[in-house]
Amino acid sequence: MSENTPPEPTTDIRCPHCKKTFSANLMDGRAERYRGFKCPHCRLFVPAARIKP
């Protein structure tokens, strides 16, 4: 029997720093301004507030 793990909700993000796209889970910080993503390309923090569809 294999465990059926539900897929984690990921978001497609376009990094405002290096302009590359990546998918990541939203980091749930304590404060609103700490909610965001970490770019795997340039390792900079991308605030969730800057990601608007």
Q: Which residues of the shown chain bind Zn ion in the complex (CB under 5 A)?
A: 15, 17-18, 39, 41-42
Question: Nearest distance from residue 2's CB to Zn ion, in Å?
Answer: 35
Closer residue to Zn ion in complex, CB, 34/45: 45
26 Cβ contact partners less than 8 Å away, ≥ 6 residues apart: 9, 11, 35, 36, 37, 48
Closer residue to Zn ion in complex, CB, 30/43: 43
Distance CA 19, CA 14 (A): 6
Closer residue to Zn ion in complex, CB, 24/35: 24
